[in-house]
Amino acid sequence: MDLATGAMGSLLLKLGQLLTEEYKLQTGVKEDVGYLERELESMHAALRKVGDVPRDQLDEQVKLWANQVRDLSFRMEDVVDKFLVRVEGAEPAIKPRKLKKLMKKMGDLFSKSKTRHEISDEIKDIKLRVKEAADRRDRYRVNDVVASPVGATTVDPRLLALYKDQKELVGIDDSLNELTKMMSDGDADGSGQLKILSIFGFGGLGKTTLAKALYDKHKAQFDCSAFVPVGRNPSVKKVLNDILLEIDGQKYSELDERQLINKLRGLLENKRYLIVTDDIWDKKTWELVKTALVCKNCGSRIITTTRTLEVATMASEVYKLQPLSLDLSKDLFHRRLSCAAIEWNNHLPAVVYDKILHKCGGIPLAIITIASLLAGKPVEFWSKVYTSIGFGHEENEDVENTRKILLFSYYDLPCHLKTCLLYLSIYPEDHLIEKDSLIWKWVAEGFVHEEPGVGLFEIGERYFNELVNKSMIMAVEGDEHIGIITGCLVHDMMVDMICLLSKEEKFVTLLDSKEQYTSSHCNARRLVVHHRAQPLATTSTLQARSFNAMCSVDLLPSLSCFEVLRVLALEGNGTLNKCSYNLEHVGKLVHLRHLKLGSIGISELPKEIGHLKFLLVLDLGRNSIRELPESIGRLSELKCLNIWETDIEVPYCIGNLTSLEELCLGGVHGHSNFVTELGKLTELRKLRIFKSVYVHGDRRMNSWAKSVAKLSKIQVIDIG
């Protein structure tokens, strides 16, 4: 429910900005804005508490209140943004003569006065709505909302893995043998040093099952042993008591944590022990538990399982659990079906069978889940089941358990990472997501929070790495740069969960070939179009902050339909687009932060592009543009410029873009001043030029060297 905070975080910052002397609000309006700021801070705190509670544990009235406040925050942000932009204004493309300049200045003063009057009326209306929301908050006792500990009211589905029959396990032998070897390494030299092994992998991969099998196989070789689940938000006192109970047969409820640690250390003194701590989520918990496990030279072994890389690397050795091979996936799939007495091989079309296994991706939990879905249905409907699988919608125990396991990971994320993860619902299933493009979209959407002395992209890159380390997304290395992460994939099961949550929170509105456009889509904040066959040209999308389209451009609405757009990504499709997209109104998108123009058939970039003074990212994709307008030099906030065409002419004013951090050019042609201009871009971190006519020759090499030497923050240089 974290996304119920809506635009609250950024809105509070903007309200604070309005209270500065710069905007000279009327006294009454200023008092109203101050009231809104104070009241919304209180609501924001309440919403964050609501966000820590799984949606199915929330009272319906609390959910209704949170949704209403979220929508109110969106409306307020639109009002404030329109005011700020209209007061600050957009710079004209060409400087007028003095008389025209004076007339325009007088007109601006009148316009700003009118704008301030309009914001006064808007804020008074919003103040009434905020008062109503505050009354409902108190009436519903939202501030008393507290999350129930995971597993407190329901059975943890991971417990089932602890009691599986050995004969049911598939593909476990190789992993068992490798872990056995890792456990025994060092025994031969007689040192008897303590060894800690960590089994690492994302939810549903079978870490608990493998750890329990390893424990059962070796526990007889030790003086004492214990297998203890930890889980998310654990009680360290309970964990210590669970270990003591298995080792000593007694529970010491009256002791505090310090006394329990001392008791456990005393019991383990001079003993060879095997202890498995299953499903550890954070370093602090593990460090505290580990203090109770004495390190004597008795050949003791500690095994942990975790889905967090940061925790895994605290061990002596890490075993990264891999998905099942295709053959083992088939084996597990068949075993689950045989339990339901289904003759799969006589009736199932090979193409459907292959697609089902592909969707599972070698994840045991996914294989069991999908097989369970199919087990109760006639074989002739399997194709329909495959195409409509949604892991959160089927009435099936295995499906529900799968969803719970994935949701454990989701609710463990901090608020900002939840938002970044759900944003991945804009991409189609099995889509390779390019890392840099994703991070810049996060920045443009306002998901990346500023930190002193750190660039927004670097912060966003840390978010990306945290999602990888927490096993929420799978990192992908570049073909040409081994060891360098260039993108990510999302497992199908995770995609299903993300899309379900995103839809529940109205975070992203997806329009694909199956869905009809209705009036409800007009209020979508983030609108995504995938492979659509019907046009959207006459629709109104005035509320959209983000518009991502992966379809033919002749189906897309005019840019005049948008008022407050921050992200515009027209991916296009070169094989489908026989006409070009009209960028006539792009200069009016004054809120725009991110503009990506994929293969959409354009040959010219309008000079009005210079009006987009807040633009952070300009990606021109692969179009037939041959030159850039000089007005591009006025994009003073631009941080990322991608131009893939090799024959495009870079304007003289490229040196004006002093905020640039990334510059990617297909080629450098025309004037020789480019190298000099390059030296002015002192914020550059990445420079890629696929084709350059300036590098060859001593004189030109010296010019390049002098310019590059001025780029003190440069990290990547790739010049063809």
324-338, 422-436, 490-504 — most confident range: 422-436
Grouping H, G, I as helix, E, B as strand and the rest as coil, residue 411 is helix
Predicted local confidence at residue 341, as pLDDT: 45
Fold of 413-493: Arc Repressor Mutant, subunit A (1.10.10)
Predicted local confidence at residue 593, as pLDDT: 93
* Mean pLDDT (the chain, rounded): 75
* Run of H or E including 475: strand 474-477
Task: Give strand pairing partners of 489.
Answer: 474
Q: How far is CA 266 from CA 192, 224, 272, 296, in A?
A: 19, 13, 13, 12
DSSP string of 484-528? Answer: -EEEEE--HHHHHHHHHHHHHTT--EEE-TTPPP-GGGGG-SEEE
Q: Where are the alpha helices (DSSP H) in 251-349?
A: 257-268, 283-290, 309-312, 326-339, 344-347
Residues in the chain: 720
What is the average pLDDT across 684-688? 88
Count helices and strands (H / E) in the chain: 22, 18
Least confident range from 12-26, 359-373, 604-618, 627-641: namely 12-26
Chain segment 512-545, per-residue pLDDT in tens = 655 555 555 667 888 888 876 566 655 556 678 8
Please list, in sequence order, all residues whose beta carbon lies within 8 angstroms of the beta carbon of residue 699, skipping any fewer than 6 positions away: none
Residue 238 has pLDDT above 50, yes or no: yes
> Taking the CB of residue 660, how many other CB atoms lie within 10 A of it?
24
Q: Which residue in 308, 327, 355 sits closest to 203, CA to CA?
A: 308
Predicted local confidence at residue 421, as pLDDT: 93
**What is the torsion angle, in degrees rounded to the nearest 10, for the CA atoms of residue 43, residue 46, residue 51 and residue 56?**
-110
pLDDT band at 274 (very low <50, low <70, confident <90, very high): very high
Predicted local confidence at residue 23, as pLDDT: 60
The span from the CA of 299 to the CA of 297, in Å, is: 6
Predicted local confidence at residue 97, as pLDDT: 44
Q: Are 135 and 39 in contact (CB under 8 A)?
A: no
Q: Are 318 and 161 in contact (CB under 8 A)?
A: no
The span from the CA of 363 to the CA of 323, in Å, is: 5
Predicted local confidence at residue 25, as pLDDT: 64
pLDDT band at 110 (very low <50, low <70, confident <90, very high): very low
Token look-up 């499709």 returns 573
Tokens of 238: 């309970």
Residue 102 has pLDDT above 60, yes or no: no
Amino acid identity of residue 604, one-letter, is E
| Class in CATH terms, 520-719 | alpha beta
pLDDT band at 79 (very low <50, low <70, confident <90, very high): confident
Task: Give strand pairing partners of 433.
Answer: 488
Mark residue 601 as left, alpha or beta (left: phi above 0; alpha: psi -120 to 50; beta: remaining): left
> Taking the CB of residue 225, how many other CB atoms lie within 10 A of it?
20
Residue 672 has pLDDT above 90, yes or no: no
Chain segment 465-517, per-residue pLDDT in tens = 988 877 788 888 876 666 788 899 887 778 878 888 888 878 888 876 555 55
The span from the CA of 375 to the CA of 380, in Å, is: 12
Token look-up 């074989």 returns 379
Amino acid identity of residue 201, one-letter, is G
Grouping H, G, I as helix, E, B as strand and the rest as coil, residue 66 is helix
142-151, 386-395, 470-479 — most confident range: 470-479
pLDDT band at 603 (very low <50, low <70, confident <90, very high): confident
Chain segment 1-42, per-residue pLDDT in tens = 334 455 666 666 666 666 665 566 666 777 777 777 777 777
Q: What is the CATH number of domain 157-320?
A: 3.40.50.300
The span from the CA of 367 to the CA of 379, in Å, is: 17
The span from the CA of 658 to the CA of 310, in Å, is: 37
Q: pTM here?
A: 0.70
